[in-house]
Amino acid sequence: MTGRLAGKTAIVVGASRGIGKGTAIRFIEEGANVVLADWEPEAGQATADEIGATFIQTDISKYADAEAAVALAVSKFGRLDIIVQNAGIYPWQLIEDTSSADWDRVMGVNLRGSFHAAKAAFKVMKAQRSGRILFTSSITGPYVTSPGHGHYGATKAGINGFIRSAALEFSSFGITVNGVEPGNIMTEGIQEGRGDAHIASMLAAIPLGRLGSVRDVANAFLFLASDEASYITGTTIVVDGGQLLPEGNDFRLVPTGN
């Protein structure tokens, strides 16, 4: 490891498993102090103990919880350099079966939670005149979708719009705001909630021929969190194995010879 985040303090929201956990691990490998903020107390604490992070139970849909996570990071480590808002929920629901309460719950975690994370972190980063605010978006919503993802897709498209607005407003204070848009990543949620048939259909649509790993996404977050990305703001990195590229299903070439 190269110490690309040595001396930095990061909060990763939604990090008890999956992409968030992978990102927290990657940050720690590169020298960061990490506060793991997650709404699941037992799973979150267990992950924090496993990887060497500090845990705080956080419901990011509540602004007071976002403020508490930021306050913990500052009190323990003296500053806050990076926040990754990765918390998100994606219940499979057709639009006709989605109640207003269902809609509000997804919006509350995914989209309002992104606003809360940014606002709470900005207070500290503004005073420091530096910082990285990062979000997990998705290719679902901004580019593609499938039945059952109406609320989820709307939140991810909303996050992309928020990234651009926040990047512009925060730019005068040395703060960059960016996101990562994963495609189909092999996480516990995919394995448990979608099943083999879904995974097989996604594999058929990905030119690189595999689902992404959480480390693939974590490496994108690491770049955006590092000094190497100091001149990048208001944008997203797509990590999807080329899934957005084909115009149709007949895209695979069979190599013949050298």
Q: How many CA atoms lie within 13 A of 37 on its CB side?
A: 28
CA neighbours closer than 13 Å in the CB half-sphere of residue 177: 26
Give strand pairing partners of 84.
12, 134
Contact yes or no for 181/217 (Cβ under 8 A):
no
What's the CA gap between 246 and 220, in Å, rounded?
23
Residue 152 annotated in active site: yes
DSSP 120-168: HHHHHHHHHT-EEEEEE--SBTTTB--TTBHHHHHHHHHHHHHHHHHHH
Residue of 240, 239, 147, 243 whose CA lies nearest to 204: 243
Question: In angstroms, rounded to a whole number, what is the distance separating the alpha carbons of residues 235 and 160?
Answer: 8
Distance separating alpha carbons of residues 87 and 38, to the nearest angstrom: 8
- Contact (Cβ atoms closer than 8 angstroms) between residue 137 and residue 236: yes
Are 6 and 29 contacting, i.e. CB atoms less than 8 angstroms apart?
no
Residue 27 CA to residue 37 CA, distance in Å, equals 14
Among 63, 90, 143, 152, the active-site one is 152
The catalytic residue positions are: 152
